[in-house]
Amino acid sequence: MHSRCVYPTEVALPFSKVTPDALSTGKCGVCASHGTTSKYLECKSLDSGFARLWICSNCFAIYNSTAEDREMDVLDWQKKWSQIDDFYSVPPPQEFEAALKNHGAVFDFFSKDLDRQFSGSYLEVGAGGGMMAAAAATRFQVANVFDHVTDRLNQVKERVGDHYRIVSADEIASLQTDTVLIWHAMEHFLDPGAVFELCAKTLK
């Protein structure tokens, strides 16, 4: 028998932290409950040898403490990766349209297989190289994109135009959107529960 998952009403600013602290503060990053995290197991990791995994007894989220154990600054880590040319590289002009079509397959799936039509405004949190949002910009009136590292987003905006809007963390709260996408980014959030709640509040 599982206990009912309880989420507190207060929500922290989800992008204000840059260093993981779930263990040191005893606060689950998903449901924000205190004192509910316990050792789950250690597993082999290609990056760090062995990774310690913890589980929350309230929401059953599993937390990999590698970054916290190493006292990593996540924002600094992302900026270092962004200096590598191949990291989320923006396709050259002759390949740009093909890349848009490739990324657009996600929206085609939702449109055709789930009978959903897209319009209005779009928000992507953790946009990376920005190409998924570029594909969204062909289906929405405005595509809002957020990432801590904006180098690639600026390159894509030059190709896509003004309806491709790069927004700051502070601006997200004031948006009203029709669709929110988080694509391969959840594992990078230090407060994923707060990110989800913030995104939910932007939805019309």
pLDDT mean for each 10 residues of the chain (204 residues): 44 74 93 94 78 95 91 86 82 94 93 88 95 96 95 95 95 95 89 92 94
φ, ψ at 97 (rounded to 5°):
-65, -40
Quick one: pLDDT at residue 48?
63
Looking up tokens 């939910």, which residue turns up?
200
Quick one: pLDDT at residue 83?
82
Contact 71, 19 (CB under 8 A): yes
φ, ψ at 168 (rounded to 5°):
-90, 170
Our CA angle for 27, 31, 35, nearest 5°, is 35
Quick one: pLDDT at residue 74?
84
Quick one: pLDDT at residue 7?
40
Identity at 36, one-letter amino acid code: T
Q: What is the DSSP letter of 186?
A: G
Contact 63, 53 (CB under 8 A): yes
Quick one: pLDDT at residue 93?
92
Quick one: pLDDT at residue 156?
97
**Cα 138 from Cα 152, distance rounded (Å):** 18
**Cα 127 from Cα 181, distance rounded (Å):** 9
pTM of the prediction? 0.85
